[in-house]
Amino acid sequence: MCYVAGLGKVSPRRFFLANVMGRLVASSFVTLVGSQGFHMPVLFWAVAILAMAGFYLAWIFYSQKMKIRFDVHQNLEGA
């Protein structure tokens, strides 16, 4: 991940935020599954699935928003 970020134009702030969020979620999930096995309560799995769906929808929304900004910027430069 660090190598790819270094090749791209990712700001240090955005890279740090992505790392903290990604590692926090992954570490928490792995720790809970490791301590409980796959015998977690149904509520845990429901919350985990809803959280993943929420992150996915937020990512879709954000990428669409950024695409619109990029398209507008490109149109302004071409005019």
| pLDDT band of 19, cuts 50, 70, 90 | confident
- pLDDT at position 11: 83
pLDDT of residue 75: 62
Over range 5-29, report the average pLDDT: 83
Q: Which pLDDT does position 54 carry in this prediction?
A: 94
Which ranges of the chain would DSSP assign to H, the alpha helix?
A: 2-7, 12-36, 42-78
The pair of three-digit structure tokens given for residue 58, joined into one six-digit string: 């937020």
The mean predicted confidence, pLDDT, of the chain is 80
Cα 10 to Cα 69: distance, rounded to the nearest angstrom: 17
**What pTM, to 2 d.p., does this model score?**
0.49
Average pLDDT value for residue range 12-22: 85
